[in-house]
Amino acid sequence: MAEGIKDKVAIIGMGCTRFGERFDASPQDLMVEAFVECLQDSGLEKKDIQAAWWGVHMPDVSVGRGATTLGVTLKLPFIPITRVENFCATGSEALRGAVYGVASGAYDVCLALGMEKLKDTGYGGLPLAGGLGYKAPLHMFNLTAPGGFAMMATKYFSKYNLNPQDGKMMLAKVSAKSHKNGALNPKAHLRKEVTVEQVMNAPVIAWPLGLFDCCGVSDGAAAAIVCRADMAKKFRPDPVFVKSIQISVSSGEEMLYTKWDGAHVEPGYRAGVAAYKEAGIKNPREEVSMAEVHDCFSITEAVAMEDLQFSARGKVKEDIDAGRFNSDGAQPIQIDGGLKCFGHPIGASGLRMMYEMYKQLQGKADKRQLKDPKVGLTHNMGGFPSMCVVSVCIVGK
């Protein structure tokens, strides 16, 4: 009988680069930057790492495929390394691999490292790079990431009778909140506060989403070292324990069948339910102290609040208006600035989110430090609302 991974694995070291348009840094520079911080933070030596999981989503525009880039760049001594890729949940998938490696009893200490170099393509937005296969351009619409999520905003507005102005206002508050948080974070890409009016009046990228509804496009890397929970206190007094890691993947039902309402992310709900069960959380709205959710676009965050049961269906606007998710609210979201301010180097994002939860739980989040958080949650969503991968990780003291 499967018993899950709750409290079997601890995070004992983490590193995260400054995110941004790192025209100064090669992919390898970013990987080393994250790894060095991570290793130092853990107090371990490189030889203690027994296996590694390496996440990069678009290796074809940066380092190429396979696991060798990690081994060669970090000079890891012939250990098992697996490259993982699962859309925007790639970073969380790398962490899941490392955590499962330890939880299975196969290893004592594992490394997860995620990196993405997006800014060598010469254009904004995510690289195309043939990521959906030869056939996709022939049968899919001329899709971009903002367009894919804009369709959910269109549908959300329609389902809950929000006129475009009110809908855009709701989303603008999501982005303004994250910019306020990100302004305090030296590792964030975008560090400027913006007003709700600025967000509302920004040029449209994909209707109804404007420029500030979209996260940045950045380079970055982040890493974690995990070990057996029973060993963790040997290495540091304040390890962070993994309560659950769950992933849910679309079944095709949303895209092909006509029951999906287009205003929520079904795998987001399902991954949340599974993660809460594994972690033993009964009331997510009350028990989850803080979360880093996948805010590639403002609508993604708004809907995630409902998918994760922080807000009731159709009611997120009330919570946003009430400031529930602000840094001084009842349930702070994107306390580090989120994808909104960090941008979304895909392979790194899930680990970057965890980096903030880890620092917050250790009380080391500097100006952003929340008062005594107990439970942190990260949420990654990859693909499009109609066809996606969602990961939910829950950590605590």
Question: Which amino acids are annotated catalytic?
Answer: 88, 344
Residues that bind other proteins (CB under 8 A): 121-125, 127-130, 134-147, 150-152, 154-155, 158, 203-209, 251-253, 255-259, 262, 386
Residues 6 or more apart whose Cβ sits within 8 Å of residue 52: 67, 70, 71, 76, 79, 80, 81, 82, 98, 110, 111, 112, 113
User: Of 98 and 206, which has the nearer Cβ to other proteins?
Assistant: 206
Beta strands 204-206 and 240-249 are unpaired
Of 23 and 257, which CB lies nearer to other proteins in the complex structure? 257
Torsion of CA 186, 190, 191, 197, to 10 degrees: -160
Shortest distance in whole angstroms from residue 295 CB to other proteins: 18
Q: Minimum distance between the CB of residue 164 and other proteins, rounded to whole angstroms? A: 11
- In the chain, the amino acid numbered 255 is M
Taking the least distance from each CB to other proteins, the nearer of 49 and 209 is 209
Which of 121, 198 has the CB closer to other proteins? 121
Query: Least distance to other proteins from the beta carbon of 203, Å?
Result: 8
Q: Which is nearer to other proteins, 261 or 286 (CB)?
A: 261
CB of 217 to other proteins, least distance (A): 11
C-beta of 139 vs 282, nearer to other proteins:
139
Please, what is the minimum distance in Å from the beta carbon of residue 206 to other proteins?
Answer: 4
Using the minimum distance from each CB to other proteins, give the nearer residue, 109 or 206.
206
- Which phi-psi region, left, alpha or beta, contains residue 63 (left: φ > 0; alpha: ψ -120 to 50)? alpha
The rounded distance, in Å, linking the Cα atoms of 111 and 234 is 18
- 249, 387 contact by CB (below 8 A): no
| Cβ closest to other proteins, residue 262 vs residue 314 | 262
